[in-house]
């Protein structure tokens, strides 16, 4: 495999040294894979695709990619768990792409053909995507096997600008509500065969919630070499981002204090990220071409989470310490890191354990990954049939180091005015300490074949074989009870589709596709119901999990004529051995992962786009039925009706609104001014932890945004945006917790319940100045 990797890297870099092939028309690849030169297009072999271009992103003035997709892409929904614009749970057709461990990740993300999901938990850190550097965005539906691991419900392909697609020098400055400041400098150009693009972005805000400031520093650059038959592009990306997202609050706290209040703090994430990559697209002759890439990627994630405590004071004669409650109300003495078991806190310090009512949880993940991929494209004819064949192979490797600690702390919560932060006391829990090294290897090959039976009828076939190896080495324990483990997974995923052009205006498409994902190292290290772990602060030795397999059937009817297009789609995805997180204590991040026999996401999507004189309109509606299809008992220990709730086939997966309506319009008032609006409606959804669908739901909501762009001169543009124009108060996410443990002493007259919510961002405004030079 080392020879294969070296060969792919060599093939990637050599074309820049070769001679040009003159007089050959460049092949236009129809099949979509992460390596395809037109991977972002308005066509898709399997399922449908929604696209966004750089001009649309700039006009909408969104501050993050997730925010823009939420407002305009069909079947996409946000669970605002952290209340930070760069840390959302993105849900598409009931599948998730989130930065948080503990959620079943079912969407693959690629940046310039390089896999963007983190190797440790398959998570997606949205803050690492430089929005202004994006040239095109494409969201593919279904379980397209060509996009590989995690493509259970869809794939997101991102392409960035280069010196041939962007030839400007721009300075953009933004100021907005809640201390928002952004300074973006980008420059691109070309001379002869060479082109460059560079972006530097600095963003900071205080956050609309208390103690929720964030700061992002992003650098992105490309160097391109382009001829008529060959493109080679070198890319560097770097981020140094600190984000505070203090998460859900007790529903009653919004009434007792305000919606911007927090429960406990801090909840900080610090991402230090860098990526180097090279990709090439070369024509061999009029019928053959090849594409390749190679990359190195590293993301160091530091997390700090302040919380209340599950530990309690315990006395043994004249000695006292901290204990953890076990089964049958038995108390187990805490084992302090660096000391022998059985040592009491009173032997180490004069701190009163009754005042130690918080924890300071720290985590560090070093995701270092690298890999390469190569594909060939062949165009040919069989009799009168046009045929396109794609074959690709590749390897992705990762070296991961994860560490975490739980430090005992004091929660500052004596009065209403206290900030509810925590201060560590310098002693750590040995049972919560984790030091884990993981090596992963993904090897794969795939093919796609498209046959045009006639001008109206096309059949497409595809398949991908994945082989995954995961090796885990516990750096603390060895032998029985350690995290050591060797895991191997194999799977071949097929797909087939048929397109038929009913007339010049109507096309019908039918597809069946399969994809899979292996359990991530984080999930494999946390799967024992008898020994729940804390995410991301603790793992235990566990039984293995099965890989998830998704099978999607999708049919669509599209209409395109002049300035009007419409699409109607029905789809059904059944996931076998779906992985979910079972909450096992009163903490939402404490529990274990299990396989479920079957879950289903099915629905209907309707959309249209049109232009009437100077106004562009777009609207969509989606119906989603996301359900469990196998019975199981949800532990849900803080459920208002009590723990151990029976979930039956047909019960709805929490956090998924059944109905969504989206509308956007852009009016080009004259050559200098355009005015736009975005509207979103989402129906009610269940709280996370109510898998049995027995309690009240998060209410439906609607929100409206408006924006304005004024081209003052050829060089200067003035823009403004108002989000949540009518200042609607709504919640996008809900879960359960025990608020009285933290709040009952400072709000003694309040009647606390178990409902926690992720409140919406209130009315906010921003103004942009963009200058080209």
pLDDT of residue 395 exceeding 50: yes
Burial 546-556 (b: 16+ CB within 10 A, else e): ebbbbbbbbeb
- 560: pLDDT strictly greater than 90: yes
At 208 the three-state DSSP class reads coil
Assess whether pLDDT exceeds 80 at residue 609.
Answer: yes
* Cβ-count burial 687-716 (b if 16+ within 10 Å, e if not): bbbbbbbebebbeebebbbebbbebeeeee
Question: What pLDDT shows up at residue 371?
Answer: 97
Q: Give the separation between CA 72 and CA 50, rounded to whole angstroms.
A: 10
CA atoms within 13 A on the CB side of 403: 7
DSSP 525-563: TS--TTS-EETTT--------PPEEEEEEEEEEEEEETT
pLDDT, tens digit (0-9, with 9 covering 90-100), for 222-231: 999 999 999 9
What is residue 377's three-state secondary structure?
A: strand
pLDDT tens per residue across span 409-428: 999 999 999 999 999 999 99
3-class DSSP state of 26: coil
- Residue 727 backbone zone (phi > 0: left; psi -120 to 50: alpha; other: beta): left
For residue 200, is pLDDT > 90?
yes
Least confident among 55-69, 112-126, 183-197, 516-530: 516-530
C-alpha span between 500 and 386 (Å, rounded): 15
Asked if pLDDT for residue 31 goes beyond 70, the answer is: no
The whole-number pLDDT of residue 521 equals 83
Q: How far apart are CA 268 and CA 274, in angstroms?
A: 20
CA 4 to chain centre: 31
More confident residue, 729 or 40: 729
Mean pLDDT of 166-182: 97
- At residue 587, the pLDDT reads 55
Residue 27 has pLDDT above 70, yes or no: no
- Are residues 193 and 166 in contact, defined by beta-carbon separation less than 8 angstroms? no
Q: Is the pLDDT of residue 710 over 90?
A: yes
As given in the structure block, the two tokens for residue 272 are 């230090």
Task: Say what the pLDDT of residue 16 is.
Answer: 42
pTM value is 0.92
What average pLDDT does range 348-361 have in this prediction? 94
- Model confidence at 102, pLDDT cuts 50, 70, 90, reads confident
Please tell me the predicted confidence (pLDDT) of residue 606.
Answer: 98
The predicted structure's pLDDT at residue 246: 85
pLDDT at 104 over 90: no
- The per-residue pLDDT for 498 is 95
SS (H, E, C) 329-391: HCEEECCECCCCCCCCHHHCCCCCHHHCCEEEEEEEEEEEEEEEEEEEEEEEEECCEEEEEEE
pLDDT in the model for residue 592: 79
CA–CA dist 765, 699 (Å, integer): 25
**Least confident segment among 29-38, 159-168, 487-496, 687-696:** 29-38
* pLDDT for residue 541 is more than 80: no
More confident residue, 383 or 608: 608
Q: Rounded to an integer, what distance in angstroms lies between the CA atom of residue 320 and that of residue 387?
A: 78
Task: Give the pLDDT band (50/70/90) at residue 283.
Answer: very high
Q: Are strands 230-244 and 267-285 parallel, antiparallel or unpaired?
A: antiparallel
Reported as a pLDDT band with limits 50, 70 and 90, residue 505 is very high
Above 50 in pLDDT, residue 19? no
Res 743: pLDDT: 92
What average pLDDT does this structure show over 594-598?
93
What is the pLDDT, as a whole number, of residue 147? 95
**Sign, Cα dihedral of 519, 522, 523, 526:** positive
Answer yes or no: is pLDDT of 429 > 50.
Answer: yes
Torsion of CA 89, 689, 312, 538, to 10 degrees: -50
75 or 541, greater pLDDT: 75
pLDDT band at 631 (very low <50, low <70, confident <90, very high): very high
Average pLDDT over every residue of 721-742: 93
C-alpha dihedral sign at 633, 634, 637, 641: negative
Beta strands (DSSP E) in 331-357 are 331-333
Q: What mean pLDDT is predicted for residues 686-696?
A: 95
Q: What is the largest CA-CA distance in the chain?
A: 93
107 and 116 Cβ atoms separated by less than 8 Å: no
* 119 pLDDT more than 50: yes
From 368-382, 449-463, 474-488, 526-540, the region with the lowest mean pLDDT:
526-540
pLDDT band at 593 (very low <50, low <70, confident <90, very high): confident
Local confidence band at 280 (pLDDT 50, 70, 90 cut-offs): very high
Cα gap 290→288, rounded to integer Å: 7
Confidence band for 532, pLDDT divided at 50, 70 and 90? low
Residue 28, pLDDT score: 43
Look at 101-110, 502-511, 651-660 and tell me which has the smallest mean pLDDT. 101-110
Residue 193 has what pLDDT?
A: 97
Question: pLDDT for 245-255, tens place per residue?
Answer: 888 999 999 88
The mean predicted confidence, pLDDT, of the chain is 90
d(CA 111, CA 133): 11
| pLDDT tens track for 288-325 | 999 999 999 999 999 999 999 989 999 988 899 999 88
Identify the pLDDT of residue 543. Answer: 52
């Amino acid at each position: 495999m080392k020879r294969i990797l070296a060969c792919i890297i060599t093939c990637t870099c050599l074309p820049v040294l070769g001679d040009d092939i003159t007089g050959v028309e460049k092949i236009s690849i129809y099949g979509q894979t992460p390596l395809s030169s037109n991977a972002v297009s308005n066509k898709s072999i399997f399922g449908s695709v929604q696209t966004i271009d750089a001009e649309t992103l700039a006009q909408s003035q969104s501050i993050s990619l997730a925010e823009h997709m939420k407002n305009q892409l069909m079947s996409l929904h946000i669970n605002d768990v952290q209340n930070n614009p760069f840390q959302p749970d993105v849900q598409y057709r009931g599948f998730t792409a989130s930065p948080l461990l503990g959620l079943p990740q079912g969407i693959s993300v690629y940046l310039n053909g390089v896999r963007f999901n983190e190797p440790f938990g398959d998570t997606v850190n949205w803050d690492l995507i430089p929005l202004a550097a994006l040239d095109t965005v494409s969201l593919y539906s279904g379980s397209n096997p060509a996009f590989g691991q995690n493509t259970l419900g869809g794939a997101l392909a991102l392409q960035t600008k280069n010196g041939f697609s962007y030839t400007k020098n721009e300075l953009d400055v933004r100021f907005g509500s809640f201390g928002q400041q952004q300074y973006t400098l980008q420059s691109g150009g070309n001379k002869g065969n060479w082109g460059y693009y560079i972006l530097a972005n600095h963003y900071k805000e205080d956050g609309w919630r208390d103690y929720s400031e964030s700061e992002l520093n992003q650098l992105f650059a490309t160097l391109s070499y382009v001829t008529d038959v060959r493109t080679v592009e070198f890319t560097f990306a770097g981020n140094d981002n600190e984000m505070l997202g203090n998460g859900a609050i007790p529903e009653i706290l919004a009434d007792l204090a305000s919606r911007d209040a927090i429960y406990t703090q801090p909840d900080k994430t610090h991402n230090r990220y860098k990526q180097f990559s090279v990709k090439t697209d070369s024509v061999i002759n009029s019928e053959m071409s090849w594409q390749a890439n190679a990359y190195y990627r590293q993301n160091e994630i530091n997390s700090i989470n302040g919380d209340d405590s599950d530990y309690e004071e315990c006395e043994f004669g004249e000695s006292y310490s901290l204990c953890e409650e076990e089964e049958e109300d038995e108390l187990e003495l805490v084992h302090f890191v660096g000391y022998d078991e059985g040592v009491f806190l009173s032997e180490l310090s004069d701190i009163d354990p009754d005042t130690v009512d918080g924890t300071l949880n720290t985590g560090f993940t070093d995701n270092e990954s690298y890999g390469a991929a190569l594909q060939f494209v062949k165009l040919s004819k069989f009799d009168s049939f046009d045929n396109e064949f794609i074959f690709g192979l590749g390897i992705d490797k990762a070296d991961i180091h994860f560490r975490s600690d739980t430090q005992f702390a004091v929660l500052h919560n004596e009065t209403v005015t206290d900030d509810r932060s925590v201060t560590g006391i310098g002693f750590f829990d040995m049972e919560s300490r984790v030091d884990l090294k993981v090596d992963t290897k993904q090897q794969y090959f795939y093919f796609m074949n498209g046959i045009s039976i006639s001008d109206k009828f096309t059949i497409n076939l595809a398949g991908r074989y994945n082989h995954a190896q995961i090796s885990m080495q516990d750096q603390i324990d060895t032998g029985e009870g350690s995290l050591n483990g060797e895991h191997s997974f194999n799977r071949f995923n097929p797909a087939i589709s048929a397109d038929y052009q009913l007339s010049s205006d109507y096309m019908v498409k039918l597809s069946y596709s399969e994809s899979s994902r292996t359990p991530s190292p984080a999930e494999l290290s946390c799967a024992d119901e008898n020994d729940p772990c804390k995410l991301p602060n603790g793992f235990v030795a566990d039984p293995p999990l099965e890989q998830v397999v998704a099978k999607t059937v999708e049919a669509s009817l599209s209409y395109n004529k002049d300035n009007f297009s419409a699409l109607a789609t029905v789809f059904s995805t059944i996931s076998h051995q779906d992985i979910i997180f079972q909450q096992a204590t009163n903490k939402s991040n404490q529990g274990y992962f299990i396989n479920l026999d079957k879950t289903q996401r099915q629905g209907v999507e309707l959309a249209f786009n049109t232009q009437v004189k100077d106004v562009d309109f777009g609207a969509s509606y989606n119906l989603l039925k996301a359900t469990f299809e196998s019975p199981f008992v949800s532990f849900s220990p803080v459920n208002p009706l009590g723990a151990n709730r029976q979930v039956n086939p047909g019960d709805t997966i929490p956090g998924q609104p059944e109905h969504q309506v989206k509308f956007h319009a852009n009016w080009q008032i004259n050559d200098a001014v355009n005015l736009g609006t975005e509207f979103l409606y989402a129906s009610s959804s269940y709280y996370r932890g109510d898998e049995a669908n027995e309690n009240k739901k998060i209410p439906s909501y609607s929100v409206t945004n408006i924006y304005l762009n004024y081209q003052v001169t050829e060089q200067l543009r003035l823009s403004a945006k108002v989000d949540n124009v009518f200042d609607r108060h709504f919640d996008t996410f809900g879960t359960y917790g025990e608020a009285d443990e933290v709040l009952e002493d400072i709000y003694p007259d309040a009647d606390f319940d178990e409902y926690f919510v992720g409140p919406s961002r209130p009315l906010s405004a921003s103004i942009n100045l963009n200058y080209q030079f």
